[in-house]
Structure 1
Amino acid sequence: MAYDRIRPFPNPDAFEFPELRALASVWQEKKDQLEDDGAYKEFIKKLQREWAIETGIIERLYTWDRGVTEVLIEQGIESSLISHRGGVSQQDAEHIQALINDHLGIVEGLFGYIKGEEPLTEYFIRGLQAQFTAHQDYTDAVTESGDLIRVALVKGEYKTLPNNPRRPDGVTHAYCPPELTKEEMENLVRFYREAEPIYSPEVKSAWLHHRFTQIHPFQDGNGRVARALASLVFLREGLFPLVVRESDRKEYIGSLEEADAGDLSNLVAFFARRQRDAILKALGLEQQVQQSKYADQIISSALELLKLRFTREKQKVFVVYEHADKLFAIVESKFKNIVATLDGQLRLLTPPHRQKYRARTNAASNTAAHRHYFQKQIVDTAKHFDYYANFDQHRSWVRITLATDQEFDYVVAFHGYGPGDSGILAASAFTYLKAPREDGGTEFVSLHPAATDLFQFNYIEPYDSTQKRFAEWLESSLAIALAEWKRLLQV
């Protein structure tokens, strides 16, 4: 397999993520209120710790379960915690702590580097690799005969020998030959600088990450440097470092392999989703901090100012509730059409002497008396996707029931995302069975999310864009729900 020279950026219109554009705009409106707040600083500190830990796990420099990572994020990078929780010797734990602290110093440095608005340079990239490998003196290499050997690691300098890995299928993957590395790195920096003012951050980040890994200019540390460069792109846009978790490995590696074949789209989409998740967490924090600030203003008797600001915010974010009503109507209409077709078919399939099989649908808008149904299922589904379901301002749902020998329900619900009235709403979908109880009632069992990802929408994204995304999400959700119904019929 021959090395393929790096290519410039694709067509700027090839990738569209209006959801991320809108969320980033919401965040830019809010972030100035938070930057000096202690809760936000703690949020950034924990995000930096997670980045520092996970970038080493992805490279297999150390490994443990997610619980250890969460303890270190909360309590700090301490060798005693690594040894106790990670099940390694104290000596190994101290070495791992040094590696993670090297990573931590880099991500902290990225936050500082962007303030100087310095252009990307080869010198800066070489410096990143030297920092990443400060406590790493050796790396593994494979001889021409296939033997694995340990060699001294050169830091901050481009490779002088090939570093082409052999895949499990026996095919050798060709990175840039050493004699072309300097030229290709110059091309990388030049292409990036030319494209920097034109492209969205998720495209720039994915392109820079992939093209850098395509070159693989160093003996070791290439993956860590690539994720640092990707993070730098987002930080320059006022966003957050790119955290790639161990649980992301399959999708991450697969997207990089697709980019090797010329398709960058899935890597861009993966980076966009990771950034979306970080923004949503930050916006949730903003609401908590803002509530505290409101309390301070009330105590200081600034009630009139608070009232005026609240009114302005309400006017601005109210449009998201209009969007929710329109999406609710789409689901209600679709479910009625499904039931109109399916109910008759199920009735014809009813075995003799059985209660009629049937399909039915019902719904509750935000003003309906029974809109409070399914709270537990919605909360459990929200926990699955790691967010807080807020019912204060909006809650509505639409349900399909498929009654055969058992009753199967599929529900799409709309509600607030995170605390407060942020102008961000979520749609969740789930399925469950109604099982008879001994006392004659029924209970919900076999609860499953009926979507692979959270659907959120906000007051900045145009409705046409939201509606297009939602239509795709709903089709996917419906397929998941019906597949679960079919599976349960076979049990």
Structure 2
Amino acid sequence: MHQVLTQNQETTEALIPATGETIDVPLIRGEWKRQVNNPMRSDGLIHEHCPPEQVASEMDNLISWHRQHQENKIPPEVEAAWLHHRFTQIHPFQDGNGRVARCLASLVFLQAGWFPLSLTRDERVVYLDALERADRGDLSPLIQLFSKRQKQAFIRSLGLSEQVLAEGRRTQIAIAAIAEKLKQNQSATRQDRCNKVEGFANLLYEIAIERLDKLAEDIKVSIEELVNEFDVFTVVPPRDGSKSYYHRFQVAQTAKQLGYFANIHAYHDWMQLAIDLQTSTIILLSFHVLGHEYRGLLVCSACAYHKDVTEEGDTSPSDIQALSESPFQFSYADEEHHLIERFRGWLEDALVTGLEYWNSSL
């Protein structure tokens, strides 16, 4: 693996201890390191990895422990984070250890039938911070980061457009008429599925409204004796759909943060909890389609933002933040009892995060 990942890399940097000079030296591919490779952190401290003479035995231990974890059915996100971090602690190669570590984590996920590990440049700071936390004995931030990326990958896969999925189902011209007939039959079935999932959406909508109304009342009771000027209220659109296009920007930005495409054209319903105290804070819930094609799969997203007043007297949203790591997904195939239970738990977590967001602005 190391040979493949470094096949286009001829050299790597090396430090001359006596002079402090950095020079380029030939990269040894596919073999354990022969010299120490302890990097210097930004704060000037040296991070010590496994010495060269102990690499072989440490790697044997790593493989043995990994096999034991597989036998004990350690969850993929936990094992991927552990294997990645433990490998980086050993740092067995002269260079390219981070690349190999991320590939090892990807192999754990692929063996579990999940997705390869994909980290963006925007996540570099969070990634490095999670590794440092792991160095201090806390592996949970790295596990959470890997879990978040897997959730987003699953969401994106569910949101694949029907056009992309259909690429592997092209038929010959000779059976085009049959394909068209099947398509018509499927469209009727799809409409039934959409009708059913929209019935679920209406049910969850009523649950959310009831919870927001109760939360607004609780906030009023808690602060009415402490503050003179404030207002807390819920906002719902007319049921005729005339304002279903509202909040497109906030919904799109939230979906972007969570890594999926929000389609509000095929279906959209929303509600708000507005808190006017010093600043105007909005908690927005949005029910919409996941992905470009509507096939009976809906989600509910939650975000919070501040409503600023412009010089022209208009209002604009700022500091939009998703209130959950992933949107709440549901489909026509859900069972109503389990669906309601799942939604109540997700909604409560999102609202707690929204209240923390409001608290940070006070």
Q: Which residue is equivalent to 2:12?
A: 139
Higher helix fraction (1 or 2): 1
Query: Are residue 360 (structure 1) and residue 233 (structure 2) matched?
Result: yes
For residues 208 and 405 of structure 1, what CA distance do their matches in structure 2 show? 48
- The residue type paired with residue 475 of structure 1 is V
Separation (CA, whole Å) in 2 of partners of 1:180 and 1:172:
19
1:225 positional shift = 0.8
Quick one: distance in 1 between partners of 2:9 and 2:278?
A: 63
Aligned with 2:21 (options 129, 143, 148): 148
CA shift for structure 1 position 437: 9.1
8 Å CA contact 2:304, 2:357 repeated in 1? no
- CA–CA distance in structure 1, aligned partners of residues 255 and 215 of structure 2: 29
TM-score by length of structure 2 reads: 0.78
Check conservation: 1:389, 1:416, Cα contact below 8 A. yes
Q: 1:193 to 1:348 in 2, by over 3 A?
A: closer
* Structure 1: gaps (5+ residues): 1-127, 352-356, 487-491
Q: What TM-score do you get using the length of structure 1 for normalisation?
A: 0.60
Letter aligned with residue 336 of structure 1:
D
For residues 247-267 of structure 1, the C-alpha deviation after alignment (integer angstroms, 9 at most, x for no partner) is: 111111111122222222221
- 8 Å Cα contact 1:347/1:358 also seen in 2: no
1:381 maps to: 253
State the shift of 1:421 in Å. Answer: 2.7
1:396 aligns with 2:273: no
Amino acid at match of 2:269: S
SS at match of 1:391: strand
Provide the residue aligned with 1:449 in structure 2. 320
Classify the secondary structure of the residue corresponding to 1:234. helix
The equivalent of 1:333 in structure 2 is 210
Aligned pairs for 1:252-401 (under 5 A) are 252-290=127-165, 300-302=177-179, 305-306=182-183, 309=186, 324-325=201-202, 327-343=204-220, 345=223, 349-350=227-228, 357-364=230-237, 369=241, 372=244, 374-382=246-254, 384-385=256-257, 387-391=260-264, 394-401=267-274
Range that drifts further, 412-421 or 294-303: 294-303
Indicate conservation of the 8 Å contact 1:140/1:148, yes or no.
no
**Higher RCO (CA < 8 A, seq sep 6+):** 1
State the shift of 1:318 in Å: 7.5
Q: 1:410 to 1:321 in 2, by over 3 A?
A: same
Q: Which moved more, 1:238-247 or 1:318-327?
A: 318-327
Q: Which residue in the other structure is 2:63 paired with?
A: 189
Distance 1:162 1:414 in 2: 55
1:315 positional shift? 7.2
Q: Deviations over 1:164-200 (max 9, x none)?
A: 2233444432212222211111122222233335133
Per-residue CA distance 1:181-229 (angstroms, 9 max, x = gap): 1111112222223333513332232222111111110111101111111
> As a proportion of its length, which structure holds more strand?
2
Distance 1:329 1:475, change over 3 A: farther
The one-letter code sitting in structure 2 at the alignment partner of 1:445 is S
Deviations 1:299-328 (A, max 9, x none): 624466446656766777887656645653
Q: Which amino acid aligns with 1:374?
A: Y
Corresponding residue to 2:104 among 200, 206, 229? 229
Alignment of structure 1 residues 163-178 onto 2, 5 Å = 163-178=37-52
Residue identity in the other structure for 1:444: T
Secondary structure of the residue aligned to 2:160 is helix
Structure 2 counterpart of 1:201, one-letter code: P
Conserved 8 A contact 2:11-2:27: yes
Instruction: Name the % identity.
Output: 30
> Structure 2 counterpart of 1:446, which letter?
P
Q: Residue type of the partner of 2:270?
A: W
Q: Is the 8 A contact 2:216 2:234 kept in 1?
A: yes
Match of 2:7, SS? coil
Match for residue 76 of structure 2? 201
Alignment CA distance shift 1:204-1:347 (3 Å): closer
AA aligned opposite 2:232 = A
Q: In structure 2, what is the Cα distance between the partners aligned to 1:271 and 1:341?
A: 36
Q: CA RMSD in A?
A: 3.8
Range that drifts further, 466-475 or 302-311 = 302-311
What SS does the corresponding residue of 2:86 show, helix, strand or coil? helix
Cα deviation, residue 471, structure 1:
2.3
Alpha-carbon distance between aligned partners in 2 of 1:250 and 1:153, rounded to the nearest angstrom: 27
Give 1:427 deviation, angstroms. 0.8
Residue 116 of structure 2: aligned partner = 241
Q: From the superposition, tell whether residues 161 and 340 of structure 1 become closer, same or farther in structure 2 (CA, over 3 Å).
A: same
Distance 1:477 1:408, change over 3 A: closer
Distance in 2 of aligned mates of 1:316 and 1:260: 49
Cα separation, partners in 2 of 1:347 and 1:381, compared to 1, 3 Å: farther
Q: Partners in 2 of 1:435 and 1:401 — Cα distance? A: 15
